[in-house]
Structure 1
């Protein structure tokens, strides 16, 4: 269970801090309408991810008896995580253009997350297979992974909303950039674990 807790923490922090459409919206809402609006956007994945998780778990359950299919998914997940980690390590200061719009922060956050392909790719190639492994340990393994992932994902975005609300220069500072690069390195290590699992399922090891 500790393994899945650790995986959830690493993946959640990486997804929370990494630049993307939702993080951009968190920042812009915090600057336009205050920290409270930024926090509302940060909460959007809790609402919008449930249908995505159920869909990907359904797909994964249909493939559970196909070892080669799972091996390919694991390799695809490794490529996705390696790419994400690489982008994290080469992240540059985030710049956001501010536009005056009505503060429908939570709704905008949900829409942006639903239309963003990243959650679908993550849950199909990484999230659902990880939950499948966790389920073999028991429901506590799944609970540990999901709780750790969403606490870190949402918590890190809330922290960024607060930090940006206090200082607009935070996202160009060394603390944010070095944190992302460290998380990127951890993701690259995790990617090779997925490559190893995929190779074993495909009979290459």
Structure 2
């Protein structure tokens, strides 16, 4: 159970930064429109993730679990996360801070926008597929622990998104593009560190 909690916290932390365009759209929305708009977008992402996780979690029950695949899941998942981390560090950020006062969108509109942005991003689904594979290995494919892990991951992500949008809205006149670039690189370093840990742990467990 303890490992399920730790894995859930880790997955939630990484997923709150790994959504790419959604991550910066959330902060940008909070800067331009305030906390409520930014958090509404985060709610849309949350709903989308529930659907994606349900597909991954319960869809995996139709496949036979085989222990000899464990070593490949850790390596492939680690390489995927490593690629995402490198992309975050090397990618450029260009944001337009000018608010268009003529466009009025309801909270429902932001929820729908966040939902569509997340569910239509292939990397988001791939991330949850990788997470599902990793926790299946680490938790011995126990369904109740996997469900607990995903619940913790979802609410950890939502909590972090709430903090991000709150401070982005509060500090909207102090946040500059350079700050987001630094945050982007920090997210990349965190993801790479997790990827290296996952690859090294899998290698030591199965190949040595």
Conserved in 1, the CA contact under 8 Å of 2:30 and 2:165? yes
1:151 aligns with 2:155: yes
- Offset at 1:174? 6.0
The aligned counterpart of 1:163 is 167
In structure 1, list runs of 5 or more residues that go unmatched: none
Q: 1:96 to 1:152 in 2, by over 3 A?
A: farther
1:46 aligns with 2:51: no
In structure 2, list runs of 5 or more residues that go unmatched: none
Q: How far apart, CA to CA, are the structure 2 residues paired with 1:135 and 1:102?
A: 49
Normalised by the size of structure 2, how large is the TM-score? 0.74
Q: Is the partner of 1:95 in helix, strand or coil?
A: coil
- Offset at 1:115? 0.5
Conserved in 2, the CA contact under 8 Å of 1:28 and 1:98? no
Q: 1:128 to 1:114 in 2, by over 3 A?
A: same
Conserved in 2, the CA contact under 8 Å of 1:34 and 1:165? yes
Q: 1:19 to 1:116 in 2, by over 3 A?
A: closer
- Offset at 1:116? 0.9
Match for 1:118 among 123, 138, 144? 123
Q: 1:32 to 1:89 in 2, by over 3 A?
A: closer
Conserved in 1, the CA contact under 8 Å of 2:3 and 2:139? no
Q: How far apart, CA to CA, are the structure 2 residues paired with 1:111 and 1:151?
A: 20
Match for 2:199 among 190, 195, 200? 195
Please list the CA deviations of residues 113-135 of structure 1 after superposition, one character each: whole Å capped at 9, or x if unmatched: 11011221111122343156336
Please list the CA deviations of residues 176-195 of structure 1 after superposition, one character each: whole Å capped at 9, or x if unmatched: 936962x5444334323433
Q: 1:117 to 1:97 in 2, by over 3 A?
A: farther
Q: 1:69 to 1:55 in 2, by over 3 A?
A: farther
The aligned counterpart of 2:84 is 84
Normalised by the size of structure 1, how large is the TM-score? 0.75
Q: How far apart, CA to CA, are the structure 2 residues paired with 1:49 and 1:178?
A: 23
Q: CA RMSD in A?
A: 3.5
1:2 aligns with 2:2: yes
